[in-house]
Amino acid sequence: MKRRQFILLIVAAPLVMTVMKRLGSGGSADTKTDKSVDGIRKNWKSLLARDAKVDLSTEPLRKAKAEWKQILSDAQFYVLREEGTERPFSSPLNDEKRPGVFVCAGCALPLFTSQMKFDSGTGWPSFFTNIPGHLATKQDYKLIVPRTEYHCVRCGGHHGHVFDDGPPPTRQRWCNNGVALRFIPA
């Protein structure tokens, strides 16, 4: 009988410790350490550096093609404005692991955080979710098979495609061209 209680205690101890760590005063979850998808999406600004030069407005930004050519590199223009794709494993952001925020290279609207990033092995920065309201999706038929393409809601820049082969709990893989992003460390 004592052996069973001892085994039960060993099995239950990690679960009890996890629950105790997650509960704050009054029995509610602590939002600052909330690692749920909803918590990560709600608390994304906690990873934004105080002096970060970002634009939080989602009001559409309109620029002529010539204006975009002046402010973007050739590679950025190709991806963001012409819906191109960079070579896999060509972006240093694929290996970026520091805490921080990934913003649109065209208009500096925050799109993802380091907490949303995972290594998909595909050669492009990948994320299992995004900052709510900052990306818009549409169907893409360029490869005959329909794919879901996504764009920045502010400048309309093309970033990549979203697939349903990502990790739990969302099972999404927001596959982004690294050249379309800029990383701001926390």
Residues belonging to the active site = 175
Element (H, E) at 67: helix 65-71
Q: How far is CA 11 from the centre of its chain?
A: 35
Q: How far is CA 79 from the centre of its chain?
A: 18
Q: Name residues whose C-beta falls within 8 Å of residue 151's C-beta, 6 or more positions apart in sequence.
A: 135, 136, 137, 138, 157, 158, 159
Buried/exposed 85-119: b ≥16 CB within 10 Å, e otherwise? ebeeeebebbebeeebbbbbbbbbbbbbbbbbbee
Q: How far is CA 160 from the centre of its chain?
A: 12
Angle at 129 between CA 128 and CA 131, to 5 degrees: 150
Query: Is the C-alpha dihedral spanning 180, 183, 184, 186 positive or negative?
Result: positive
